[in-house]
Amino acid sequence: MKNCFASMCWKGLRAGFVIAGMTLAWAGVAHAQSAAKTAADAAKKICAGKTITIVWEAGLQSLDPLNFSGPLWEKETGCKIKVVEVPTAEMFTKIMQDYRAGSGAYDALNVVPSWMPDLVQAGALEQLDNYVDKYGYRAELQKIAPTYRDNQMKVNGKIYGFPDDGDVFIMYYRKDIFARDDLKKAFQAKYNYPLAPPKTWKQFDEVGSFLTDNLKKEGTYGASFFREAPYAMLMFQERFRVEGGKFFDANMKATVNSPIGVRVFTEMRNENRFMPPGVEKFGFVENLATFLKGESAMTISWPPYGRFAAGYLGSEKALDWVPKSTIAGKVGYALPPGGHPQLALGFALSVATHSKNKEAAYLFIQWLNSEEISTKRVQLPYTLRDPFRDSHYTDPVYLGLWPDAKDYLAALKAASQTGLLDLSLIQTDTYEEALRQGVGRLWAGEDPKTILDDVAKQWDATTAKIGVDKQKAVYNAWAAKSGAYPK
């Protein structure tokens, strides 16, 4: 051996290592690159001429499979794709009804991750581990950004869906307003710290009210949110946890009505005072319109705001409904106060258990979700699918889409590492519904503590009906996930 480290023996060994290394690397790269190709090739064999039916959110989201991925898949594999568009609010209903009736009309599905425990419990989603191993998709699955990968893929340790949408709440703010010298000086004088996008909710209150006081005459408010109940409910989930709240205690008793919860509710209502009047009724589009017209200096929302604000629509007719952005180039991106944004909603791709084309359906979703194809999909101007893979955040094409795209992607990447998962248990919607109604009552002027006490009572009643132990197991499984509570 001693001799080997000299001269040719070592050279040979070294060469051997290099070749071995390169082969491994090539195999690894080739393996990773070909998840899309693997799927397409396999599908060519199974599905010629067949039609795969996939349930997709109606409207803008469906343009992806209708105009891009569906035709592309058909070209590469000969399998037809039929898109069943379903209004967002009806997706869960249609999937469950179809499952219960055993009609087998749907092959592949889009599901919101917080529905997964319910759907898996009911038996509506196909377990995907065997297919993943058969087609070697584990490696590429690993490369999905941690928060989505670790929180939105598995139930009870088994894979039931591929996270396919980087939904997360990030903060958008007007760089130009925050850079104004007159405002900076006045703020520093008043509060003793520099004017900047707020890192805590206390700072948000101060910054927001300050900006409104000073800019109202110019027609701009410090901030606006989509305060309509379904959206505000998700924001509450985030803030409550960021401030240290826990949804349930060790005995599965609801603790949303803890002092933290009451404080969050109270602060939320107080903040409305420096927001545009009637903000309680702002939905996604009203809030977007307000921000794009320059009437608010800060807002929190899903990633599409960033693309719309930058004017990245091109001449996309599908986006005609988006008000013209007057603030392109003036938008900054940051994590919301507290630094742990809500992974609000999102989508995962799944296979229906009653499907008659399970394997073909699986191959389609693997192909959709793969590195190669998903990178293209999240860059479609009309898409609502947001970056969700590590590679998306550093993709050179995406970075060049508009001047501030790198900051945008950086913010999304940061969010993807610290995001908080939506609460998902058995009958999640029942719990969320109680919260939604609570928000409605909050805006109507009722006392926060009373409202939250009622919400806690409803939660406990629901838990009792489902079975405390049963729900506790599911809750503990959820709470064990990295994105359940801020670390």
Partner 1 sequence: MRSGQRGTFRERNFKYLLVGPAIFVLLLIGVFPLVYLLMVSFQGITMTETSTDFIGFANYRQLFSDARLWQALLHTVIITAIALPIELVLGLAMAQLFLDRLPGRAIFIALLVLPVVVSPIVSGATWALLFNHRFGPINQIIGWFMGRETILLWTINPNLVYPAIITAEIWQWTPFMFLLLLAALGSVDRSQIEAAAIDGAGWWRTFFRIVLPAIAPVMTVAVLIRGLDLFRLFDIVWALTQGGPGTMTETISVFTYIKGFRQFETSYTAAVALLVIVLLSTLVMYLLRRVELAR
Partner 2 sequence: MTPLAGRHRVRLCLRLVAAVALTLIFMFPIYWLYMISFKTASEIYAFPPKWYPSSFNFDTYRVLFRDGDAATVGNSLIVAFCSTALAMFLGFICAYSLARFSTGGKHLANWIISQRMIPPIAVVFPIFLLYVWFGLVDTYVGVILLYTAFNLPYVIWMMRSYILDVPRALEESALVDGYTRWQVLWKVLLPMCRAGLAATTIFTFVFAWNDFIFALVLTRTEVATYTVQITHYFGGQSNFWAKISAMSVLGTLPIFVVTAFMQRYFVRGISLGAVKG
> Is residue 441 a contact point for partner 1 (CB under 8 A)?
yes
440 binds partner 1 (CB under 8 A): yes
Q: Interior CA angle at 253 toward 234 and 265, to 5°?
A: 35
b/e map 410-438, b = 16+ CB within 10 Å:
bbbbbbbebbbbbbbbbbbebbbbbbbbb
Q: Any idea of the CA torsion for 152, 284, 225, 231, to the nearest 10 degrees? A: -40
**Cβ-proximal residues to 282 (8 Å cutoff; 6+ apart), any chain:** 224, 225, 226, 227, 228, 276, 290
- Closer to partner 2 by Cβ: residue 49 or 102: 102
- CB 459, min distance to partner 1, A: 14
| Calpha distance 425→213 (Å, rounded) | 43
* Contact between 486 and partner 1 per CB under 8 A: no
Gyration radius (Cα) of the chain, Å: 25
85 binds partner 2 (CB under 8 A): yes
Confirm or reject binding of residue 448 to partner 1 (CB under 8 A).
no
> Cβ 127 to partner 2, closest distance in Å?
24
| Contact region with partner 1 (CB under 8 A), list: 131-139, 365-373, 395-403, 424-432 | 424-432
286 scored as a contact of partner 1 (CB under 8 A): yes
Q: How many CB atoms lie within 10 A of CB 60?
A: 16
Stretch that binds partner 2, among 169-177, 244-252, 280-288, 389-397 (CB under 8 A): 280-288
Contact between 217 and partner 1 by CB under 8 A: the answer reads no
DSSP codes, 164-177: ------EEEEEHHH
Residues 396-415 touching partner 2, rule: CB under 8 A, are none
For partner 1, give the closer residue by CB, 54 or 229. Answer: 229
Span interacting with partner 2, options 89-97, 134-142, 330-338, 359-367, rule CB under 8 A:
89-97
State the nearest-atom distance from the C-beta of 277 to partner 1, in Å: 5
Tell me the window of 130-138, 166-174, 307-315, 421-429 that interacts with partner 1 (CB under 8 A).
Answer: 421-429
Tell me: does residue 121 bind partner 1 (CB under 8 A): yes
Per-residue b or e along 116-151, where b marks 16 or more CB atoms closer than 10 Å to that residue's CB? bbbbbeeebbbbbeebbeebebeebbeebbebbbeb
Pick the piece of the chain touching partner 2 (CB under 8 A) from 11-19, 85-93, 120-128, 327-335.
Answer: 85-93
Q: What are the C-alpha distances in Å from 109 to residues 233, 344, 380, 428, 437?
A: 25, 19, 21, 19, 29
For 333, list phi and psi in degrees, rounded to 5: -125, 140
In the beta sheet, which residues pair with residue 56?
85
Instruction: In angstroms, give the least distance from the CB of 460 to partner 2.
Output: 28
CB 132 within 8 A of CB 141: yes
Question: Is the Cβ–Cβ distance between 140 and 163 less than 8 Å?
Answer: no
Site residues (CB under 8 A) for partner 1? 90, 92-93, 96, 100, 118, 121-122, 229, 276-278, 280-281, 286, 426-427, 429-430, 433, 436-438, 440-441, 443-446, 466
Site residues (CB under 8 A) for partner 2? 57-61, 82-85, 87-90, 94, 97, 101-103, 105, 230, 283-286, 289-290, 293, 302, 304, 317, 320-324, 345, 384
